[in-house]
Amino acid sequence: MQFDLSLTIMGVIALSAIVSPIIVTLITNIFDIKKMKIKLFKEEKQKLLNEYLEYLSTFVNIETSAFDVREHESLLIKLSAYISPKTVDFIRGKIQEHPVNQNALFEIASALAQDCKKK
């Protein structure tokens, strides 16, 4: 049995013409899904950071007795998925160490900013 080289080459070309767009589409879709996950991750992180800092900033000019530790911990736990454990420990220490004042808020915001730059 003898192979006709021209038919074999045409078959390979035809097969690659069918398979190639499928492979390119799959690769493109996988890349788009990864981009969307990263975008959603960044949006959620930004939303939680803003929510946390807004919450803390409301207590800068108010008596610290109004500070709700449970609500603070709830927000910090949500945020801890996006920041390092070291930063979480630093924030907890600052909150327990002294009342929420402008200096503590500034130090917490600085720690969060540095942590976000690293990731």
C-alpha 34, offset from chain centre: 12
Q: Is the pLDDT of residue 106 over 90?
A: no
pLDDT of residue 24: 96
14-18, 47-51, 94-98, range with the lowest pLDDT: 94-98
The Cβ of residue 59 has, within 10 Å, a number of other Cβ atoms equal to 19
Share of the chain above pLDDT 90, in %: 29
Sequence-distant (≥ 6) Cβ neighbours of residue 99 within 8 angstroms: 64, 67
pLDDT of residue 63: 57
Choose between 61 and 32: higher pLDDT. Answer: 32
